[in-house]
Amino acid sequence: MSRFFQAEVAGNIHLSQTHNILRITPLQPHVSPAPGQFYLLRASETLDPLLRRPFSILRWDDAHLEFLVRLRGGGTLLLRNMMPGDGIDVLGPLGKGYPEPLKDETPILVAGGVGIASVFPLIGSLHAGTRLFYGAMNSAELYLLDDIKKLAGHIHISTDDGSKGFKGNAVERLNESMDDLAVAKPTVYACGPEGMIASLLKVLKDRGIPGYISFEEKMACGIGACLGCVIKTKQGYKRVCKEGPVFNVREIVH
Amino acid sequence: MNVNLSVNIGKIGLKNPVMTASGTFGYGEEYAEFVDLAGLGAIVVKGLSLLPREGNPPPRIVETPAGMLNAIGLQNIGVESFIEEKLPFLRQFNVPVIANFFGDSMDEYVGAAERLSDVNGIEGLEMNISCPNKQAGWLVFGTDPETTFEVVSAVREVTDLTLIVKLSPNVTDIALMARVAEDAGADAVSLINTVSGMAIDIKTRRPKLANITGGLSGPAIKPIGIRMVWEVFRAVGIPIIGSGGIMDGEDAIEYMLAGATAVAVGTANFVSPAATMDILSGIKDYMTTYGIKDISSIKGGLIWER
């Protein structure tokens, strides 16, 4: 069993001009991921782009791994252009994912944009009372909605431009509904863009709600050696790739 | 073909010339899952200071064309924690451990060298006088020849371990700096450290690194490293550890032809955690292809006279 292996592209679905779902088949025995863990992918041996790119695990079964890829630059363009049968170099699963929710708590999942990939594996595994707050720029960027509807009971959609659901981001939607939710022991599990996470931290603090957030930081090695991906915690800098990417909000300095 | 890969750096016998570059291999344990540590020539650990360092705020790294800029800021657990918590793990493997260290003052350099020389399991010291991420007052250790001589001499006095001085490329005359290190008693020099650089986000007009400037590494700097190793090879008699953008066996051979006795692999470890092993097998392939029995025989083998 290895965390560094070769795989083959099984499928590559272009969801839009900017997003694709890459489905790969590991060619060697590999370690199964847990929700919130991530992989570093390398599409080719080019020197430019040079470094691997990190992606949360979206979905998996015994023979496949799936990733939601957002086009950002040269590295993600190579991953977007991959064809079935292409070889891909994989490192993972890496980092510490979401803790298993306690039986008596109500998990509240919060996702913004591609952050949905990180919380997606939690959706189906939780109990019926689980809430999902999912926000995107506009209705066209609410990816995976059909899959989510099959898995989750209570979905609260928001879009920045108001083209679907609540107008605003997922955290604003969450904050608005918190007073009426009246659920037992709410605990947040979240991933999203920087601005959304900053406002989420404030909401959780003001309301005294516990939570776990998956953080993003520029990363090189992914295995704790380069110290490039640190974030500030109450115990000093911690590595997103090793101690994270999921951190208890109590640890975070903000 | 049976090939001899062993080389010597000072008193250290290396079973092959592939070492790790400080700061890119953690304290070894991060890579144990991916690399047979005993198969390495030597492990150079992340730079240590007498007291722990917090390092720079993020973002600390950014990718640039065929390279990356970093400004980690020498975050490290300190000499004592290294000795207590990390060294016992490394000692299980049959591989020389070289402790990279630095200080903010002459006293800190000497203090760290003394303490690291006082424990079993460390075979060599690599003095970082060249990290580009610290403030001006400190930088002088690696760029002013007189200060370099003074600090290397002071460290030489307190250690019998093999002493390697890691040189900065951010100088006018690297051959002069290498001669100064040799004159001050260094057993070897390693070069190059990262090249000082900078990147700006033109949308926000902000620097891409919180530290503003950082050190450039990766394939982008290889030609600079090759040139500097060649210049230093003609200037000193002590062994050279070549580094800067080594991604495969052919890059390593290029450094050796320029004059390196051994090579240090850095950024490549981030691209592939097993890079050192691939580079070693690439070196063997070259030796087989060209009928080279002893790796030392190609050192400085560049043909340049007309």
Same domain, A78 and A125: no
CA distance B146 to B35: 40
Residues B136-183 have pLDDT tens digits of: 455 567 788 998 999 999 999 999 999 999 999 999 999 999 999 999
Query: Residue B119 corresponds to which tokens in the numbers above?
Result: 């424990």
On whether both A146 and A222 belong to a single domain, the answer is: yes
Rounded to the nearest angstrom, the minimum Cα separation between B114 and chain A is 26
Q: Could you give the ipTM of this predicted complex?
A: 0.93
Which residue has tokens 């603090």? A205
Q: Which of B53, B47, B25 is nearest to B100 (CA)?
A: B47
CA distance A96 to chain B (A): 15
**Contact status, residue A103 vs residue A129, Cβ threshold 8 Å:** no
Q: Does A54 fall in a domain?
A: yes
Of all residues in chain A, the one with the smallest CA distance to B47 is A226
DSSP output for B134-176: S-HHHHHHHH-HHHHHHHHHHHHHH--SEEEEEPPSSSS-HHH
Whether residue A121 is found in the same domain as residue A215: yes
Residues 67-126 of A with CB under 8 A from B: 89, 91
Closest residue of chain A to B29, computed from CA coordinates: A225
Q: How far apart are CA B180 and CA B130, in angstroms?
A: 14
Examine residue A205 and state whether it is found in any structural domain, yes or no.
yes
- Is residue A101 a part of any domain in this protein? no
Residues A9 and A84 placed together within one structural domain of the fold: yes
Contact B63 A219 (CB under 8 A): no
CATH of domain B7-55+72-194+217-298: 3.20.20.70
The C-alpha atoms of residue B136 and residue B142 are separated, in whole angstroms, by 11
A133 and A66 both lie in a single domain? no
Q: 0.90 exceeded by the pTM?
A: yes
Whether residue A100 lies inside any domain: the answer is: no
Query: Looking at A94, A125, A153, which one is the last position of a domain?
Result: A94
Q: Does residue A238 share a domain with residue A192? A: yes
A152: nearest Cα among A183, A115, A125, A189: A125
Strands (E) across chain A are located at 4-14, 19-26, 38-42, 53-56, 59-60, 65-70, 87-94, 106-112, 131-136, 154-159, 166-167, 186-191, 211-214, 230-233, 236-239, 246-248
Residue recorded with tokens 């049976």:
B2
A220 to B68: CB separation less than 8 angstroms, yes or no: yes
CB A223 to CB B68 under 8 A? no
* Digitized pLDDT (tens) for each residue of chain B, 306 residues in all: 789 999 999 999 999 999 999 999 999 999 999 999 999 999 999 999 999 999 999 999 999 999 999 999 999 999 999 999 999 999 999 999 999 999 988 899 999 999 999 999 999 999 999 754 454 455 567 788 998 999 999 999 999 999 999 999 999 999 999 999 999 999 999 999 999 999 999 999 999 999 999 999 999 999 999 999 999 999 999 999 999 999 999 999 999 999 999 999 999 999 999 999 999 999 999 999 999 999 999 999 999 876
Q: Does some domain include residue A51?
A: yes
Q: Do both A54 and A89 map to the same domain?
A: yes
- What residues in chain B have their Cβ under 8 A from chain A's Cβ atoms? 23-26, 30-31, 33-34, 46, 54-55, 57-63, 65-68, 70, 72, 75, 218-219, 247, 267, 269-274
Same domain, A83 and A143: no
Strand partners, B213: B198
Nearest CA-CA partner of B168 in B189, B198, B199, B147: B189
Which residues in chain B have Cβ-Cβ distances shorter than 8 Å to A52?
A: 270-271
Domain boundary among A94, A121, A149: A94
Q: What residues make up the domain containing A65?
A: 4-94
> What amino acid occupies position A186?
P
Report domain extents, chain B. Answer: 7-55+72-194+217-298
